[in-house]
Amino acid sequence: MTIHFPFQNTYSALPANFFARVAPTPVAAPRLIKLNRALAVHLGLDPDVLESPEGAEILAGKRLPDGADPIAMAYAGHQFGQFVPQLGDGRAILLGEVIDKDGVRRDIQLKGSGPTPFSRRGDGRAALGPVLREYIVSEAMFALGIPTTRSLAAVITGESVMRETMLPGAVLTRVAASHIRVGTFQFFAARGDTNGVRALADHVIARHYPDVAKAERPYHALLEGVVARQADLLARWLLVGFIHGVMNTDNTSISGETIDYGPCAFMDEYNPAQVFSSIDELGRYAYANQPRIALWNLTRLAECLLPLFSDDQDKAIEQAQFILGEFAEKFTAAYQTGLRKKIGLFTARDGDEALVQDLLDAMAKNTADFTLTFRRLSDAAGDEAAVADVRAQFTDPAAFDEWAVRWRQRFAEEPQSAGERQVAMRAVNPAFIPRNHRVEAVIAAAVNKDYAPFEELLTVLSKPYEDQPEFADYAEPPLPDQRVLRTFCGT
């Protein structure tokens, strides 16, 4: 059977030093674990074909679809602040690009598909656990309304991979607006290849920021666009308690999507200093540090673009600093607007920022669950009887009582009804997130060839803002003996 994907490949048409042409390494006995049928249809692909044995072979890299032009992309990056001049796709291969039903170009990439010239002595493979984690969390982020790469399929390979122990091997089919990163620009800038930086910038403008192509200063406008998208993305992360875990420049997407779900996690108890990544020993990528790190990463991008700004380096630096200076304002505006919505405010007034911050401070001091506090607060906005459920999140309920007096006083300044406020709050405060202990339980079951918990968790997370009484337990935080405090990279 010949399986055709409607590929329209543009990245592989760039100069040869942008990538390495390499085919996936065939695997022994691929078997489909999960196909995202709705996403397949949106990409113009036939889900019935992809669910066939031949489709599973394509999704595992054993067979190439007609029209594929497989490549591993070159990039560099700062990893925990240390620059590595060559990284690249060490275990991922881009099959090609398709145009989805919305007219948006999307990469289709196999992750865990074998070694490439960028593998750095790695085996190029992926274990089942990290594949399922990325599938779960990326699709949860999509359902939450946060820009993200997505998961088209997970396939078990029939082979084992050696990590600390032997584990089942798997391949994730990842879909992204593109896989171009800050580190992609750094790859060329580090080599003094200004023509490469310009070619990449022109490609990014055409693909992600077409409106800036006619700007008087298109490269300045490109940086402005990336700054704006990252500021919005980081605000969205914080508003749902998400911690990326490894915000290296090679994990910072130029398109403004969340990419590379390694040691990521959602907070249970609210703690601004929360870290889950086992390798982030100094807390560089802690929850509250993420906006600062995003700006640091964007500054590295700006450095790459300086030769395109002006031949006068001092002038170029001044222009870049001005654009970078907009990040804090854009992030703060998006974050504060989101926080007001989370506590049910429809307008912005003096004192709102302090009101929300006082709630967050009380939550931190009283080990309140981040997601449940805001969800229960949504209920309390329309039902006084639900206040008890909010108070129960605080070790000292009086801390909430004191804040709630001011909260209700603030309501009185707006004309919306209690019912309107409750509906608006429930639309931004999810009931369900991919809690660490749930994800780990799913992975443990899958390693034992039980995928039912994986399917059920995906079902729950696909409707995060609905109550789903039959799955109410999934909204609950972990018991003390269920807590997962460390997450690991998916290498």
- Average model confidence (pLDDT) across the chain: 95
Q: What angle do CA 392, 393, 394 make, to 5 degrees?
A: 90
For 90, 185, 250, 293, the CA distances from 85, given in Å and listed in that order, are 14, 11, 11, 19
Distance of CA 368 to the CA centre of its chain: 24
Task: For residue range 238-285, list pLDDT tens digits in order.
Answer: 999 999 999 999 999 999 999 999 899 999 999 999 998 888 888 899
Please tell me the distance from the alpha carbon of residue 248 to that of residue 326, in angstroms, as a whole number: 21
C-alpha dist (Å) from residue 281 to 79, 274, 295, 296: 13, 11, 21, 19
Q: Say if residue 38 is exposed, middle or buried (CB neighbours under 10 Å; 0-12, 13-18, 19+).
A: exposed
E-assigned strand segments in 9-149: 19-21, 31-35, 71-73, 77-79, 82-84, 92-99, 105-111, 126-127
Q: Mean pLDDT throughout 329-336?
A: 98
Tell me: pLDDT of 152 over 90: yes
% pLDDT > 70, the chain? 99
User: What pLDDT score does 280 carry?
Assistant: 86
State the pLDDT at residue 262: 87
Phi/psi at 191 (5° precision): -100, 5
Instruction: Give CA–CA dist 411/179, Å, rounded.
Output: 44
pLDDT surpasses 50 at 491: no
pLDDT of residue 1: 64
Q: What's the CA angle centered on 316, arms 311 and 320, to 5 degrees? A: 155
Q: Which helix (H) or strand (E) holds 6?
A: none
For residue 149, which of 19, 264, 4, 56 has the smallest C-alpha distance?
Answer: 264
Given this model, what pLDDT does residue 306 score? Answer: 98
Q: Is the pLDDT of residue 294 over 70?
A: yes
Angle between helices 128-144 and 436-447 (to 10 degrees): 140
In the chain the first and final C-alpha atoms are separated, in Å, by 33
Instruction: Tell me the C-alpha distance between 417 and 420, whole Å.
Output: 5
- Mean pLDDT, range 474-487, rounded to an integer: 86
Q: How confident is the model at residue 2 (pLDDT cuts 50, 70, 90)?
A: low
Alpha-carbon distance 29 to 157, whole Å?
A: 6
Of the residues 89, 107, 232, 250, which is catalytic? Answer: 250
Q: Taking every pair of C-alpha atoms in the chain, what is the biggest distance, in angstroms?
A: 68
Q: How many residues does the chain have?
A: 491
Q: What is the dihedral of CA 41, 45, 47, 51, to 10 degrees?
A: -150
Q: Is pLDDT above 80 for 59?
A: yes
Sequence-distant (6+) residues with CB within 8 A of 195 are none
pLDDT-derived band of residue 210, with 50, 70 and 90 as boundaries? very high
What tokens appear for 139 in the block? 């699709």
Cα-Cα-Cα-Cα dihedral of 304, 310, 312, 313, to 10°?
-20
Enter the pTM of the model. Answer: 0.96
219 with 201: CB under 8 angstroms? Answer: yes
Contacts of 329 (CB under 8 A, 6+ apart): none
Please name the residue that has the structure tokens 């994986």: 454
Closest listed residue to residue 209, CA positions, set 191, 227, 226: 226
pLDDT digits (tens, 9 = 90+) for 439-463: 999 999 999 999 999 999 999 999 9
Assess whether 250 carries a catalytic annotation: yes
Give yes or no for residue 312 having a pLDDT over 80. Answer: yes
| Helix, strand, coil abundance in the chain, percent, nearest 5 | 50, 15, 35
Tens-place pLDDT, residues 373-415 = 999 999 999 888 899 999 999 999 999 999 999 999 999 999 9
Please report which confidence band the pLDDT of residue 37 belongs to, taking 50, 70 and 90 as the band edges. Answer: very high
